[in-house]
A and B are shown apart, each in its own frame.
Chain A
């Protein structure tokens, strides 16, 4: 077994450890809120979509697709040395792109998806430009542009662009009723799962994950991007245009988040409510735990996204009489908190496996 395989295995074990601890915390909270029904609630979370077959599985698949994309968005940025906390904003702007091309222009789904991608890319490029040319930390810019994007999209959908907002439902019009041709085809999956938004989006997402893996690991472009991420100065020394690459990285990252928005909204998964002006879409932020759980590996993102979708769907099946569906969010948040020191877990795991003599050399 080479060092690299060992490291990958160790990473997987460490991620699993984060998940287990996160779930345990969830269980404890369930006990604190209502001890009688705690085990039942916990089982529902663990079962996820499988609690309510086949509908649950269908909605799990539907939710996984956008999560894979936002996860890829964050993971891609991480690999190139950037923390794209702005996936939520890029996702939001992507929603506008997709819905505008669908509801107003009645374009076919792939054009709408492309529009979402371009919108996300533009919104991602801005923090990249700020980082590359003004040396402003991308984290702070991304956060600011999340809010700017949210208010902008709300303004556009609510009043500026006529024909998107439906007074009756207080949401945007349903694509299925206004422009059915803009819906991503489901190839019969909705019928199988008895759902309304299980489409081929999941396959698009997986294909993009594979593409990102290839770009990052096999191409000179990936070599350049990663070199910039690891060491901007050395990349410059090697004749790589570091500024251009920072902007490109953020653009690609934003594009991925935008595609995520397209995949979700063009599948008919939800309609946008421009009056909830204060909340950024959770799918955007949940890309962060997905990327962290996956150790920023594009292929790992697929599995991590399915996991997060799994327990979110499970959370929705909690009996609201006793529990709050947000407990699933809480578990996810605990897991990211743990992911922040996953390196430590790796050390612990390695120690337990006896590859290192634990405790020695750390005299304290």
Chain B
């Protein structure tokens, strides 16, 4: 049971962070299907910092690596922003390309890195090894990783930003009715970039949070194994609202955790394999999508490039 709670929290925080990122992007009017790729790039940057700076004190290493993952995510998300906002290209296609690019970039970089550090004996793997001790705190029987705390803070800040500040009002107006925003002097392009960049930062941190607390070796050939896509489903299920997203993330995480502990606990008696549990969150999201799509609260202008000329 402890194990289930542990894994659930682990996944829930990741899904929530990334889904919140997706929410900011979509609330500003840009569909961010590239979350999967952003997570991979963010994770890559953070893990690289860990692998290279393993000797630094935890107080330095933790913030620096997290910051690195956020910055990498932002930079990568700018590629989406450039194609979707500035060039007004199809957002889904651009995002798909970025997902594929992210995996390729991660593999090439890690392999090149391993190749160099092993003095070029060829056939390098795409795995990085690191230590994650600095991220985990023990409180009584619980182990809590730092991302849980970060996640809760970001959840609250996201809510306040979106609904209690003028910036949130402006960002939301760009996703709902960009022409209206433009007519009152709000720079739609700027706000959409901000939305995409926030999603980049949260996606990057989310990718890092996905990789680091649970294992100490990561094979970048798998990217983040569909977690980014699952986060998209969490966002839709959470109806683009911060606290609903948090709830949806926990819900999805339970299924995901079951897959992880299926083989090692009493659950194995049920005779269901890991594959079946892995499938469950996806099936659950499909069922939920089928029932909720009729009254979806999706931002009205999401996915539509804003063109000043067309009014």
Contact = CB atoms under 8 A, between A and B. Distances in A.
A285 interface: yes
A29 B103 CA distance: 15
B108 A141 contact: no
A337 B97 contact: yes
A134 B290 contact: yes
B105 interface: yes
B258 to A, nearest CB: 13
B297 to A, nearest CB: 14
A287 to B, nearest CB: 11
Interface in B47-93: 79, 83, 87-90, 92-93
Nearest to A32: B112
Contacts of A324: 107-108, 111-112, 115, 124
A29 B101 CA distance: 13
B101 A337 contact: yes
Contact of A136 (B33, B111, B123, B290): B290
Contacts of B111: 324, 326
The CB with the most chain A CB atoms within 10 A, among B89, B92, B96, B273, is that of B96
A33 B88 CA distance: 33
B234 to A, nearest CB: 12
A137 B291 CA distance: 13
Contacts of A159: 273
Interface residues of A, number: 48
A341 B89 contact: yes
B178 to A, nearest CB: 18
Interface in A266-291: 277-279, 285, 288-289
Contact of B96 (A145, A319, A322, A336): A336
Contacts of A279: 221-222
B156 interface: no
B289 A136 contact: yes
Given A324-B108, A326-B111, A333-B104, A340 B286 contact: no
Interface in B230-289: 232-233, 236, 273-276, 278-279, 282-283, 285-286, 289
Given A130-B289, A321-B120, A340 B94 contact: yes
B36 to A, nearest CB: 9
A330 B101 CA distance: 6
A337 B96 CA distance: 8
Among B108, B123, B232, chain A packs the most CB atoms within 10 A around the CB of B108
Contacts of B83: 337, 340-341
Given A152-B275, A337-B83, A330 B89 contact: no
B97 A152 contact: no
A187 to B, nearest CB: 35
Contacts of A143: 229, 232
B200 to A, nearest CB: 16
Contact of A337 (B79, B112, B283): B79
Contacts of A344: 87, 89
A173 interface: no
Contact of B108 (A147, A277, A326, A332): A326
B93 A340 contact: yes
Nearest to B83: A340
Contacts of B289: 130, 134, 136, 140-141, 144
A320 interface: yes
A330 B90 CA distance: 20
A139 interface: yes
A364 B26 CA distance: 27
Contact of B236 (A140, A151, A321, A329): A140
Interface in B197-222: 221-222
A336 B279 contact: no
B138 interface: no
A140 B286 CA distance: 9
A337 B94 contact: yes
A328 to B, nearest CB: 9
26 contacts: A134-B290, A136-B286, A136-B290, A141-B286, A141-B289, A144-B282, A144-B286, A148-B279, A151-B279, A155-B276, A159-B273, A277-B274, A277-B275, A288-B100, A320-B122, A320-B124, A322-B120, A330-B105, A333-B97, A336-B100, A337-B97, A339-B93, A340-B83, A340-B90, A340-B93, A344-B89
Given A136-B293, A332-B104, A333-B104, 9 more contacts: A134-B293, A139-B33, A139-B92, A143-B232, A147-B278, A147-B279, A148-B283, A155-B275, A333-B97
Interface of B: 33, 79, 83, 87-90, 92-94, 96-98, 100-101, 103-105, 107-108, 111-112, 115, 120-124, 221-222, 225-226, 229, 232-233, 236, 273-276, 278-279, 282-283, 285-286, 289-291, 293-294
Q: Which 3 pairs from chain A and chain B are nearest by CB?
A: A333-B101, A337-B97, A341-B89
